[in-house]
């Protein structure tokens, strides 16, 4: 378990260093990658789950700026979800593109006009106003994505898409989601 803690600490430190260097001195467009394959002297490696896919051996490279969320599961929680494979802990990584794709899939089921828009605009909807239960969603793009991701498909009542190209009074296109609050 100590190796797991050390690896997590190194992962966060690398992400912090990359974010800091990108925000301060270096304004280049080069990609910084995290290779998630910690060397181990024993066989007690954690299980990695990236975007719902379990990786047993070599884990793919991930750009730290594409990571939306990292969860570390330990003990009974890891075992209850992943069985004996989770005995050494589980690192669950969710990437931005995975969350965006899940949100698109969830909302197009309720709105043909939104589906048509995504199809003709290369699945790009980042410059929208998102309104959930009558309240505009505010925050960073990652915070908004996370809020949209948390809305369960079963709780959605309706999705209305307002395209600024068809409604000249709009400054931005809008996606209005009405859901049952839990």
Out of 60, 95, 130, pick the residue that ends a domain. Answer: 95
Number of domains in the chain: 2
Out of 68, 95, 122, pick the residue that ends a domain. Answer: 95
Give domain status of residue 118, yes or no.
Answer: yes
Q: Give the pLDDT confidence score for residue 90 in this predicted structure.
A: 93
Give domain status of residue 175, yes or no.
Answer: yes
Q: Give pLDDT tens digits for 95-122.
A: 999 998 999 999 999 999 889 888 888 8
Q: Give the pLDDT confidence score for residue 146 in this predicted structure.
A: 86
For residues 127 and 141, what is the distance between their CA atoms, to the nearest angstrom?
9
Q: Give the pLDDT confidence score for residue 171 in this predicted structure.
A: 80
31 lies in the same domain as 60: yes
Give domain status of residue 104, yes or no.
Answer: no
Which of the four pLDDT bands, split at 50, 70 and 90, describes residue 43? low
For residues 63 and 32, what is the distance between their CA atoms, to the nearest angstrom?
6
Q: Give pLDDT tens digits for 130-152.
A: 899 989 999 888 888 888 888 98
Q: Give the pLDDT confidence score for residue 164 in this predicted structure.
A: 85
180: left (phi over 0), alpha (psi -120 to 50) or beta: beta
Name the residue range of residue 7's domain.
2-95
């Amino acid at each position: 378990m100590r190796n797991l803690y050390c690896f997590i600490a190194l992962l966060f430190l690398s992400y912090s260093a990359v974010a800091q260097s990108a925000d301060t001195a270096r304004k280049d467009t080069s990609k910084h990658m995290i290779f998630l394959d910690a060397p181990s002297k024993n066989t007690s490696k954690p299980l990695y789950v990236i975007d719902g896919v379990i990786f047993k051996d070599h884990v793919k490279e991930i750009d730290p700026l594409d990571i939306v969320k990292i969860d570390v599961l330990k003990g009974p929680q890891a075992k209850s979800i992943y069985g004996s494979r989770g005995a050494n802990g589980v690192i669950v990584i969710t990437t931005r593109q995975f969350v965006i794709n899940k949100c698109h899939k969830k909302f197009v089921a309720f709105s043909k006009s939104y589906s048509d828009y995504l199809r003709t605009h290369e699945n790009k909807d980042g410059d929208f106003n998102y309104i959930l239960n009558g309240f505009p969603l505010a925050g960073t793009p990652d915070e908004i994505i996370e809020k949209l991701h948390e809305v369960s498909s079963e709780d959605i009542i309706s999705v209305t898409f307002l395209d600024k190209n068809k409604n000249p009074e709009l400054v931005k296109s809008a996606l209005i989601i009405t859901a049952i609050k839990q």
